[in-house]
Amino acid sequence: MSSQEFIGPEMSPLRLRDVTVPHRVWMSPMAQYAAGSDGKPTDWHLVHYGSRAVGGAGLIMVEANAVGALHRTTSADLGIWNEEQATAHRRLTSFIRERGSIPGVQLQAAGRKGSHQLPWVGEGQNGSVGVAEGGRQTIGASAVPFGDLNAPRAADHADIDEVVDAFARAARTAHLAGYQVVEIQASHGYLLHEFLSPPANHRTDEYGGSPQNRMRLALRVARAVREAFPAEKAVFVRITATDWIEGGISLDEAMMFGKELAAVGIDLLDVTSGLVVRDTHARPPTQQGVHVEFAAMLKNATGLAVASVGQIDDLSLAGELVASGRVDAVMIGRPLLRDPYFALRKRPKDQAAWPRQYRRAL
């Protein structure tokens, strides 16, 4: 029996600039809250990402990395703003590359969701870490809190310029660290999404009001990152297709944003939704492949490659989605937490895909 019989359309390579991703089943960024206060990756990150590389994920998008000390969500976030961090990240990127996967990293500014407790800190104590407890004053598009978190300070023009510079520095640091892809986090209610979305952005200056104004910061960041990251490497944006709420971002507006990103030279839209306000209606519905149709519409409207994330828990479904042309790749989140070998499961006889150390088990 030929190994080819086990290889579906999701296993074909995808080239973006000079980066050839070996196949279309990718690891979605998932924060581990396992870094030290210096923001450097630890043994946990090497084993965690290393296992998914051994498990054959085509591209590994390392979790949200803060673009500066002021931009961390928690005190245990990874960071990507200095050379020491870049050196520490090299252990991850070289292992991932050795296994034939592509190392990518997500760049994030936390905005009003910053200065937060680790998620597993007990109920009643979870939430913001105030300045008196060693936390910091966060910035947001406006001084409007997310749920019961501490209110941010509305970013002034100096803060906005600093954010743009911090993303550009993070892109340069990511290059030094050996990443072949960077992803700008413009979703899930973090700073760039806060500027994009009316429920979080009440500004009356050139960064608020019209869609063009609300997109201004994210587009400045996209341009700065594209310029700072080598031309042969790829830049993705994690984009919100809809906020799911009245007065929030709609698909039409997401398409406008996507077209502007295409003009900046972004290579791929990683399509997700929701989470800009703390409201159960603002969460993506529980539904298999929940963002696939949005991704397909964004692909049509922008001409960019797209990935869909969310509730794709079956490799056969991944194959169907890629074969249908609606998406170019799938981002897998929680299924890869449950099973690091998710991408290899359908290929028990594909000797070449499995590490040679494990082949006697096949």
Ligand X SMILES: Cc1cc2nc3c(=O)[nH]c(=O)nc-3n(C[C@H](O)[C@H](O)[C@H](O)COP(=O)(O)O)c2cc1C
Backbone angles phi, psi at 305, to 5 degrees: -65, 150
| Cβ at position 204, least distance to ligand X in Å | 30
Contact 30, 52 (CB under 8 A): no
Binding positions for ligand X, 63-92, rule CB under 6 A: 63-64
The footprint of ligand X on residues 298-317 (CB under 6 A) is: 309-312
Active-site pick, 33, 190, 207, 358: 190
Question: At closest approach, how far in Å is the CB of 290 from ligand X?
Answer: 8
Under rule CB under 6 A, which residues in 177-216 are in contact with ligand X?
185, 188
Instruction: Please say if 341 is a catalytic residue.
Output: no
Using Cβ positions, the residue closest to ligand X within the complex turns out to be 333
Which one of the spans 110-118, 123-131, 194-202, 329-337 is the region binding ligand X (CB under 6 A)?
Answer: 329-337
Q: How far is the CB of 170 from ligand X (least distance, A)?
A: 14
Which string of x and - marks every residue 157-176 that binds ligand X (by CB under 6 A)?
--------------------
* Stretch in the footprint of ligand X (CB under 6 A) among 46-54, 89-97, 223-231, 327-335: 327-335
Question: Measured from the CB atom, is 8 or 289 closer to ligand X?
Answer: 289
Nearer to ligand X, 208 or 335 (CB): 335
Any contact of residue 340 with ligand X (CB under 6 A)? no
Asked if 272 interacts with ligand X (CB under 6 A), we say yes
- C-beta of 33: minimal distance to ligand X in Å? 9
Q: Could you say whether residue 30 binds ligand X (CB under 6 A)?
A: yes
Catalytic residues: 190
- In the complex, the residues that contact ligand X under the rule CB under 6 A are 28-31, 63-64, 106, 185, 188, 238, 272, 309-312, 332-335
